[in-house]
Amino acid sequence: MPSLTSVKAALATQAIETPSWAYGNSGTRFKVFAQPGVPRSAFEKLDDAARVHAHTGVAPTVALHIPWDKVDDYAALAKHAEDQGLRLGTINSNVFQDDDYRLGSVCHPDAAVRRKAIDHLLACVDVMDATGSRDLKLWFADGTNYPGQDDIRARQDRLAEALSEVYTRLGDDQRLLLEYKFFEPAFYTTDVPDWGTAYAHCLKLGDKAKVVVDTGHHAPGTNIEFIVASLLRENKLGAFDFNSRFYADDDLMAGAADPFQLFRIMYEVVRGGGYTPDTAFMLDQCHNIEAKIPAIIRSVMNVQEATAKALLIDREGLSAAQTSGDVLAANAVLMDAYNTDVRPLLADVRSERGLDPDPISAYRRSGWADRIATERVGGAQAGWGA
């Protein structure tokens, strides 16, 4: 059995990155329900993120999205983060919201549109230089809706060309994270639809290119933990976008729909040596109807619980059962860990770090929700509706 001290130490050093867009208003294409007190600027998003970190102790970085979080002075934004014990994290690019991108961005048939998209990605690397961010996350809405609409292979060539130009621009300590998604907004082909395509491009680019696994980006029934294990074997897992889904890319709270899947994923992370700062554990979700800050705290706690259970697995017992071919015993080892109530353990980890053992009620008692509802009028829309 793993020692409790080592499990606690591993949990105390966990780092989960929260997305700036989760703090703003969001919705579906049917309706955005505005909430009182939502941030009006990137600075205020950081103020909210600081509350999540203050209560959980494990959310020290915030992912930004350009242009939704565009500011004149990124050094000032980084300083604002630092003043509250935060750091700016992954830079998310956006080559999907302009009219020019009707037929795609870096895969667009027109070289002028591709140039515009690549220039935006290069500008995002400039932002990384200013914020001190390590990672550039690329997700492309590129694809086609109808058979014959465009040349699928030519689009892959255009993609490779764009990625290579951006990759060349990266500094020594910067990374390119390529995110795949099987459909949406394109419905016939997507240019980076799966981990195989992302992996093939990253392999060609080099060591600084890694794959992002967004848990909501697979066909129903896909074994995501197998993908995680495979990418870790190849040293190509760069990051997670955690969220939950019941149907498609639902972007619900991480660990809400299928905590068992999150546990299985975290087990492969731990098993495969991926529980290190080299893997960015990010949330990518939206809170359309629930209160945002406590929902993010809940998601962070759900990831912590899945991680605690994965760390508690009796690896030696599991290995012995696997080697002897004892199918039921092996499965029982995993289920024993999964069925452990790790909430008291995590409460201890928090108390030992001087935090309230119950982050959600600590947040509720803090009065922050009332304060921002009074002080902030005319909150910003996150810009993301799906």
Check binding of 250 to Zn ion (CB under 5 A).
Answer: no
Burial class (CB in 10 A: 0-12, 13-18, 19+), 313: buried
Using CB distances below 5 to 8 A depending on partner kind, what does residue 35 bind out of ligand AOS, Zn ion, none? Answer: none
Q: Which of 150, 225, 284, 356 binds ligand AOS (CB under 6 A)?
A: 284
181 vs 218 by CB, closer to ligand AOS: 181
Return left, alpha or beta for 104; rule: phi > 0 is left, psi -120 to 50 is alpha, else beta: left
* Minimal CB distance residue for ligand AOS: 139
Q: Which of residues 185-214 bind Zn ion (CB under 5 A)?
A: 214
Q: How far is the CB of 249 from Zn ion (least distance, A)?
A: 4
Q: Which of 47, 150, 241, 268 binds Zn ion (CB under 5 A)?
A: 241
48 vs 241 by CB, closer to ligand AOS: 241
# chain residues binding ligand AOS, by CB under 6 A: 11
Whether residue 148 contacts residue 154, with contact meaning beta carbons closer than 8 Å, is answered with: no
Check binding of 135 to ligand AOS (CB under 6 A).
Answer: no
Q: Which of 45, 53, 158, 181 binds ligand AOS (CB under 6 A)?
A: 181
Check binding of 208 to ligand AOS (CB under 6 A).
Answer: no
Beta-bridged to residue 70, according to DSSP, are: none
Q: How far is the CB of 378 from ligand AOS (least distance, A)?
A: 23
Write phi, then psi, for 171 (nearest 5 degrees): -75, 170
Check binding of 48 to ligand AOS (CB under 6 A).
Answer: no
# chain residues binding Zn ion, by CB under 5 A: 4
Q: Distance between CA atoms of 309 and 253, rounded to whole angstroms? A: 19
The DSSP H or E segment spanning 283 is: strand 280-283
Q: Distance between CA atoms of 233 and 250, rounded to whole angstroms? A: 29
Q: Distance between CA atoms of 212 and 206, rounded to whole angstroms? A: 15
Q: Distance between CA atoms of 236 and 228, rounded to whole angstroms? A: 9
Q: Which of 47, 150, 284, 305 binds Zn ion (CB under 5 A)?
A: 284
Of 164, 87, 97, the closest CA to residue 128 belongs to 87
Check binding of 53 to ligand AOS (CB under 6 A).
Answer: no
Check binding of 249 to ligand AOS (CB under 6 A).
Answer: yes
Does residue 185 have a cis peptide bond before it, meaning omega lies within 30 degrees of 0? yes
Strands 189-190 and 143-144: antiparallel
214 vs 225 by CB, closer to ligand AOS: 214
* Minimal CB distance residue for Zn ion: 241
Binding residues (CB under 6 A) for ligand AOS: these are 21, 65, 92, 139, 179, 181, 214, 241, 249, 284, 384
